[in-house]
Amino acid sequence: MATERVPLARDWQRIALWLVGATLGYNVIEAVVAIWSGTAADSIALIGFGIDSGIECAAAVAMLWRLNLEVRGADRERIERGEKRVGIFIGWTFVALALYVAIEAGLTLWRHEPPAASTVGIILAAASLLVMPLVALGKLRAAREIRSSALRSEAKETIACAYLSATLLVGLLVNAALGWWWADPVAALLMVPWLVREAIEGIRGEDDDEDDTADAG
């Protein structure tokens, strides 16, 4: 059983590397397109969406460094140190994400500013809503297989990206159909408590997944 576990773990390490690398590449494109289209449409929501992608890029880069340690055969102690550092770093990216959501949504509500229509922005948000949940599920499975709480946190950040994509799309559609300009920022604010919780767990190095400890036993 132990001999089967090692090749399986290595396979999932490579899968994790591929998923995080793909996320990084996608987020770089997403950030550039969102900021460009947001500037053209004078849309704070789209520009903010690009900033969110930049935050996720930082988390993905840190995660790639951590996974490379394991793939290159670093000793267990070094991997564990890297895991802890990356977990804390990702926790702080959750803080940045929570601040971004709270400030951007708060300003939108204060200014009574409806989400600006942008065909490119709608396509981008729809693509993210389709792609990111699937990528996040893959990362969560990989995190369970290689027992990485840092990867699980980074996967949850990908889930946050999907949620923000959904709020952007819903905000545009609901505003167009019903004139409910406040739907997008209110939906985004509902995510802030979850983001703060994930930030605290990451910074403290807490692990809310009991399955890993059960598997280890």
- Mean residue pLDDT across the chain: 81
Pick the more confident residue, 66 or 46: 66
2-204 placed in CATH 1.20.1510: yes
User: Residue 15 corresponds to which tokens in the numbers above?
Assistant: 């899968």
Pick the more confident residue, 105 or 99: 99
Pick the more confident residue, 212 or 156: 156
For 66, how many CA atoms within 13 A lie in the half-sphere containing its CB? 29
Instruction: Give pLDDT, residue 9.
Output: 60
Handedness of CA 49, 195, 82, 207 (dihedral sign): negative
Q: Can you count the helices (H) and strands (E) in the chain?
A: 8, 0
The model's pLDDT over 126-171, given as tens digits with 9 standing for 90+, comes to 888 899 999 999 999 999 988 888 899 999 989 988 888 888 787 7
Instruction: Give pLDDT, residue 116.
Output: 65
Diameter over CA atoms, the chain? 61
The model's pLDDT over 13-52, given as tens digits with 9 standing for 90+, comes to 889 999 999 999 999 998 998 888 878 776 766 777 788 8
Where exactly are the structural domains of the chain?
2-204
